Amino acid sequence: MPSSLLETFSWLDWLAIGCYFMCWTWYYYYCHMRLRTKRCLAATMHGYRYDWMKRMVDREVRIADATIMTHLERNGAFFASSSLLILAALFSLLGAAEKALTIVNELPFTRVLPSQLGIEIKLLLLIGIFIYAFFTFTWSMRQYNFCAILIASAPLPSEKDITPGARNAFAVQAANVIDLAANQFNYGLRAYYFGLALLGWFLHPLVLIFSTVAVVGILYRREFHSKTLKALAAGRDLNVSFRGILQDIEPSATAKPSLSPARDTTPTNTNH
């Protein structure tokens, strides 16, 4: 099996799959290290989650908070169920590897005559990625469920025996649990992105390298340099200026046209 595996893939295939996993691992650790030193979506949203929980403990009615938590949990449920459908399709395709090989051979820009073993290994790798995504989304769902319980058990403003320090500690830890749930959801989405990049391997190893680098670039830009990040940061930092979709438009171009005071716009009656 090892010798046949080595014969199945060329050095370019091994280079491409090595680049694939190295980029995925590097981006994971890069985001983790830059969390406290560089403005990013994860750190900015942590501040909003803390503000949310801080205000939640000061409210008597928390229906809106429970509704938002239910909505967040449903997002994870949607992607978890989608992962199961994708896995079912991949397992069906794995059972018909010969037909898949024929289809791949007919695609443009594919390598010449990929082997059936190569197709099966690529499908198994995709299956592993979406299994990981499924478990990640379901764990995110459970954590959001824990957050809903935290909201239900939060101290009420009328409870005078709860100290301000205890309320603040509760808000901090509730925000931390929401952060953990959101991070797991992000990991699942990241697996979807890299799963799509892996599809390039069915065409050519160079396509896999290009798609992997493109996915890392897209994720990096959205996490650290997106307009959404600027808008979120501007809501908490007065030193950050953001004008939304009008950001790249000159202020004079967005001014509303005004009527000249010297011009009479009243319709003239010409009937005498």
Q: What is the pLDDT along the chain (272 residues), one digit of tens a residue?
A: 455 666 677 888 899 999 999 999 999 999 999 888 888 999 999 999 999 999 999 988 889 999 999 999 999 999 999 999 999 999 888 877 666 667 666 666 555 456 777 788 888 999 999 999 999 999 999 999 999 999 999 999 888 888 989 999 999 999 999 999 999 999 999 999 999 999 988 888 999 999 999 999 999 999 998 989 988 988 887 777 777 776 666 555 545 544 444 444 445 454 54
Dihedral sign, Cα of residue 72, residue 73, residue 78, residue 82: positive
Structure tokens at 171: 């808000």
Separation of alpha carbons 45 and 185, rounded Å = 14
pTM above 0.85?
A: no
Which amino acid, 20?
Y
Task: Report which of 163, 169, 146 is spatially closest to residue 69, judged by C-alpha positions.
Answer: 146
> Phi, psi at residue 203, to the nearest 5°?
-90, -55
